[in-house]
Amino acid sequence: MYDELLDVVSDADEVIRQEPRSVVYTHKLNFRAVNGFLINSSNQLWIPRRHPSKKLFPLSLDCSVAGHVSAGEDYDTALIREAAEELNIDLTTLPFKRIARLTPPEHGTSAFMWVYLIHQDETPDYNRDDFVDYAWVTPAELLERLSKGEAAKSDLLPIVKHVFTAKGI
């Protein structure tokens, strides 16, 4: 199995060096990630459920698109790559917008990250190896489900609280 190479970053999100993902996780080093949400004209988010074969958070709710920023890659490029891999969406032809920057020390997230919105009404032709199910839900409905303990990727609740609740989206 391929061990993705990631940038290790300082507490100021400056690249220090590169390490394999396994080393970053084992030693709890700072890294970068992207998290994007499809949002439709009814202000509902497309929230998928992760595939049961996923090593981390199987069968848990997730962001519409998420992933690591690979070594030498910038945040926007990582989002474009992940959207193509996970949702079969070409973000070079579809507008997206950065809406929040979250950090481990300030927000309790697993990584330094940018959160994005992607406006789209259609359900994506998502990768069935990544996700098994989905729902269109409002941020308030998602927060209620997470608050009741529905299984979710660890960063989903902090993102919803800090981004959608605080910004009133």
pLDDT digits (tens, 9 = 90+) for 35-70: 999 999 999 999 999 999 998 999 999 999 999 999
Q: Can you say whether residue 50 is alpha, beta or left, with left for phi > 0 and alpha for psi between -120 and 50 degrees?
A: beta
Q: What are phi and psi of 163, to 5 degrees?
A: -100, -60
Indicate if the pLDDT at residue 1 is higher than 60.
Answer: no
d(CA 81, CA 137): 25
Find the length of the chain: 169
Q: Please report the domains of the chain, with CATH numbers, ordered by start residue.
A: 35-65+72-167 (3.90.79.10)
What's the chain's average pLDDT? 95
